Amino acid sequence: MAGHPGLPQHMQEGTGGTDGDGRKQDIGDILQQIMTITDQSLDEAQARKHALNCHRMKPALFNVLCEIKEKTVLSIRGAQEEEPPDPQLMRLDNMLLAEGVSGPEKGGGSAAAAAAAAASGGAGADNSAEHSDYRAKLSQIRQIYHTELEKYEQACNEFTTHVMNLLREQSRTRPISPKEIERMVSIIHRKFSSIQMQLKQSTCEAVMILRSRFLDARRKRRNFNKQATEILNEYFYSHLSNPYPSEEAKEELAKKCAITVAQVSNWFGNKRIRYKKNIGKFQEEANMYAARTAVNAANASSHGSQANSPSTPNSAGSGGSFNMSNSGDLFMSVQSLNGDSYQGAQVGANVQSQVDTLRHVISQTGGYSEGLTANQMYSPQGINANGGWQDAPTPSSVTSPTEGPGSVHSDTSN
């Protein structure tokens, strides 16, 4: 800027003097002018600029400068190249989109909801409370992100237009090609986008932290609601002879309980192992569910209903055998001493006393494989074809009451 006014000025003065001394003098003047240019007032400068623009030599000089500029611009353009989209930036963008930060405004945050669902089950009313905090924080982040982004965008635009105006203004006094303007704009954009990338990066970090705190904290569990537990227990005790739900059954249960299939699997895994470990503890529960399913079945089949209390198989205390002596009782209880209460839901009418006695016998023989046979004998429908899951622990508790269950393991050679 400072140099340009000086140049025509030089010519202006230079037209007068022809000898070398005069030229030197001119240069001194020019330098002087350059040095003092900052002292000039704005009006002065404008006036001088106007004078320069009106100078008769200006167009010719301008053209020369344009030519020179053209060449340099070409070389510059050769140096600059279209850089591919930054992979880092793309990664960030993708992630923000996936997290629902940069995606659609609201809509329950589809992606975020999906992630949440993956962590702890479907869109039940149950976990909405759990994730409300998460959602609130996420939307907070999103809001900050958007306002910041908008701010940057606006600043970028403002700055760009400002620079362009300046360049346009300058283009009257110095040659500026459109290419050059374009380049300048792209430089500005690049600068601003690098700032935006920082914003995106920190936003990503915030989201990651949030996620790790709320969703990835996998051990931060919530108990299933009562209904879900009941559904699961119902299935478990009504399939006590083979409590291994198929994939389909798991899906069904998961849907009914508003949890994931994996959670169903976990539940059954836990349930099996814990049931097996301490059958006595679960007896009451088993009786209850057995009774319930039995009653349900009875009601459904419109059979003659000698309904006994559905939810309270009374006096079913863990130790007490409550044998329903009389006609067709649907479920039997088993005493905790002998352990097992499988096929609790079976409709094997009066068998249970035999079962009990035989169990006792078995316990004395200490047979392990006999348990299986006994089971098969008394299962009315011959359910447990495999006999698998329950016969291992049962005899152990049977054989030696003093010994904890499960002490006898893979001990077939007995």
Of 286-325, binders to DNA (CB under 7 A) are none
Does 263 sit near DNA (CB under 7 A)? Answer: yes
- CB count, 10 Å around CB of 307? 9
Q: Are 130 and 222 in contact (CB under 8 A)?
A: yes
Min separation Cβ 410 and DNA, Å: 8
DSSP alpha helix (H) spans, 123-260: 125-170, 178-214, 226-238, 247-257
Residues 91-120 that bind DNA (CB under 7 A): 120
Q: Determine if 272 is a binding residue for DNA (CB under 7 A).
A: yes
Q: Which is nearer to DNA, 201 or 265 (CB)?
A: 265
Member of 50, 162, 190, 220 binding DNA (CB under 7 A): 220
CA 114, 116, 118, 124 torsion: positive or negative?
Answer: negative
Tell whether residue 242 is a contact of DNA (CB under 7 A): no
**Distance between alpha carbon 183 and the CA centroid of its chain, in Å?**
40
The verdict on 71 binding DNA (CB under 7 A) reads no
Q: Which amino acid is at 94?
A: N
Which residue, 130 or 329, has its beta carbon nearer to DNA? 130
CA 38 to chain CA centroid, Å, is 59
Nearest-CA neighbor of 277 among 409, 113, 90, 94? 409
Decide if residue 218 touches DNA (CB under 7 A): yes
Residue 265, interface with DNA (CB under 7 A)? yes
Residues 228, 255: contact at Cβ < 8 Å?
no
Q: Which stretch binds DNA (CB under 7 A): 86-94, 186-194, 213-221, 319-327?
A: 213-221
Closest by alpha carbon to 405, among 320, 338, 333, 311? Answer: 338
Does residue 266 belong to the site contacting DNA (CB under 7 A)?
yes
For residue 224, state whether it binds DNA (rule: CB under 7 A): yes
Q: Are 344 and 290 in contact (CB under 8 A)?
A: yes
Q: Which is nearer to DNA, 258 or 362 (CB)?
A: 258
CB-count burial class (<10 Å; 0-12, 13-18, 19+) for 23: middle
- Residue of 135, 200, 211, 276 interacting with DNA (CB under 7 A): 276
Exactly one of 56, 71, 106, 219 binds DNA (CB under 7 A); that residue is 219
183 interacts with DNA by CB under 7 A: no
Supply the minimum distance, in Å, between the C-beta of residue 388 and DNA.
7
Residue closer to DNA, measured from CB, 152 or 244: 244
Task: Determine contact, residues 119/215, Cβ cutoff 8 Å.
Answer: yes
Largest CA distance in the chain: 139
Say whether residue 273 binds DNA (CB under 7 A). yes
Query: Tokens 């301008």 correspond to what residue?
Result: 62
Contact (CB, 8 A) for 234 and 344: no
Q: Which of 179, 190, 221, 255 binds DNA (CB under 7 A)?
A: 221
Binding site for DNA (CB under 7 A): 120, 217-224, 229, 244, 247, 262-263, 265-270, 272-274, 276-277, 281, 389, 392, 406, 409
